Amino acid sequence: MPAVLSAARPPFSWTSLEGRTIVREIIEARLPQWQNGPKATQVGCWSYTLEKIPTILVASTGWGKTSAFYGPLSVQQNLRQYPRPNVPQPPEKLVALVVTPLIELGNAHVSPYSLPSLLKLTQYSSCASGTRSL
């Protein structure tokens, strides 16, 4: 009996060329006003986030750090509306936890984008002297 070879499709990965291409296509379709499109490093950052790989981003002013968390949210919102074959369906509720050193910076991240289902939580804290007991 001859051997039967099966070309099983490898599991989908956001960090693969196919995954990064899908990320770029979705972002460019959702943000046509982005003239030069996303940088390869931004697509890479989004791909790692979507693949659930812990990521720490250190970038200079003007790099597009805000896009680092809006990119994956935008991709997943698009996939909720327009599922693609062989691409995992995102969870029903999307969450991004963003820590900023300034309250106003956090507020600025939320208001101009107003992505659906984006909940803004702001915690105000103060410290009267140099120490605080918990």
pLDDT in tens, 57-104: 888 888 877 788 788 988 999 999 999 999 999 988 877 776 666 666
Q: 44 pLDDT band (50/70/90 cuts)?
A: very high
DSSP structure class, residue 30 = H
DSSP structure class, residue 8 = P
User: What residues have CB less than 8 Å from 31, skipping those under 6 apart?
Assistant: 74
Q: CB-based burial of residue 4 (10 Å sphere; 0-12 exposed, 13-18 middle, 19+ buried)? A: exposed
**What local confidence, expressed as pLDDT, does residue 125 receive?**
44
Mean pLDDT comparison of 5-14, 37-46, 59-68, 106-115, highest-scoring range: 37-46
**What local confidence, expressed as pLDDT, does residue 93 receive?**
82
Q: What are phi and psi of 25, to 5 degrees?
A: -60, -45
| Residue type for position 92 | E
Number of H helices, E strands in the chain: 4, 0
